[in-house]
């Protein structure tokens, strides 16, 4: 059984891509907490943060930082939630960072998270294009 995120990185599986650079790929989560919820993955398959070579940590999180800024700048969010799991609660065993747009009183409390759906593939593509525009 292959890795779902590796298939997205390789272009074998469709995704709404936000960022595609030599080191990393970012794409919309298919089960977003809020519209614009993006997953950032290293292009090379590493299962957890501890597997990521130390020299790659800074550049990788630089993209997470830029995505967090795009949530506010492009989507008009009041802030963002940036998180990752390592093994426990890690739905896909490929290192990934969740970058989620946040607004006051958006309903996200503790770890009981509401999930939203895009109205259509077109709406998801529009969100991906708006976020991708923040990277020029």
Is 37 tagged catalytic?
no
Give CA separation, 130 vs 39, 67, 76, in Å: 15, 11, 11
Pairwise CA distance, residues 22 & 97, whole Å? 17
Place of tokens 């790929």: 25
Pairwise CA distance, residues 95 & 34, whole Å? 21
Nearest residue to 52 (alpha-carbon basis) of 85, 44, 92, 10: 44
Q: Annotated catalytic residue: which of 16, 37, 94, 96?
A: 96
Give the catalytic positions in this structure.
96
């Amino acid at each position: 059984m292959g890795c779902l995120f590796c298939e997205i990185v390789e272009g074998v599986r469709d995704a709404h891509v936000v960022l595609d650079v030599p080191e990393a790929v970012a794409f919309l989560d298919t089960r977003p907490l809020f519209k614009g919820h993006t997953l950032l993955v290293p292009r090379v398959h590493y299962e957890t943060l501890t597997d990521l070579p130390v020299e790659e940590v800074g550049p990788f999180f630089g993209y997470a930082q830029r995505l967090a800024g795009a949530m506010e700048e492009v989507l008009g969010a009041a802030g963002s939630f940036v998180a990752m799991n390592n093994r426990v609660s890690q739905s896909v065993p490929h290192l990934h960072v969740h970058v989620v747009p946040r607004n006051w009183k958006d309903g996200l409390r503790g770890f009981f998270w509401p999930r939203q759906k895009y109205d259509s593939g077109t709406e998801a593509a529009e969100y991906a294009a708006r976020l991708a525009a923040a990277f020029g």
